[in-house]
Chain A
């Protein structure tokens, strides 16, 4: 019998990271741990836009990444 058990959530902000030699856009990301499993989409958006607004890097978007343990 196998189960998936919640382990942690990470908020990942994605920024523009300049261009490659071929002129394709690169991205860079910054991940934040200690995210509540129950965090609302509204709350996550507030955090993402607030932090993105503190930085010079052009903000693209954010992802919530959840990790589950397979036990």
Chain B
């Protein structure tokens, strides 16, 4: 079972950017994730078509189940 944490950001112009983290810690709290995402926005590292990120849109953990048949 593969888990990933999907962090969704949005720019002032409404463009979205998803940043994913593989194998996230189960112990992560909502606050830790939100503080981390705010720090990522403040660092001014990511952009979408030249526009920096401005808000935290969402964060979710996605689990993928693969069953081998053959």
Chain A partners chain B:
yes
Chain A interfacial positions (CB closer than 8 Å to B) = 11, 30, 32, 34-36, 39-40, 42-44, 46-47, 50-51, 53-57
Total cross-chain contacts (CB, 8 A): 63
Q: Chain B 30-70, CB within 8 Å of chain A: the 1/0 string? A: 00010010011011111110001000000000000000000
Interface of A is mostly: mixed
Count of B residues near A, CB < 8 Å? 21
Chain B interfacial positions (CB closer than 8 Å to A) = 5, 17, 19, 21-25, 28, 33, 36, 39-40, 42-48, 52
Q: List 11 A-B contacts (CB under 8 A).
A: A34-B17, A34-B48, A36-B44, A40-B44, A46-B39, A46-B42, A50-B39, A54-B21, A54-B24, A55-B24, A57-B22
Given A44-B45, A54-B25; 6 other pairs, CB 8 A cutoff: A32-B19, A34-B46, A40-B44, A51-B40, A54-B36, A55-B5
Q: Is the CB of B5 within 8 A of A39?
A: no
Complex CA distance for A21 and B33, rounded to whole angstroms? 36
Given contacts A34-B17, A54-B28, A54-B36, contact A43 B43 (CB under 8 A): yes
Q: Across the A-B interface, give the 10 residue pairs with the lowest CB-CB distance, nearest first.
A: A43-B43, A46-B43, A39-B45, A50-B36, A54-B21, A43-B45, A47-B45, A36-B47, A56-B23, A55-B21
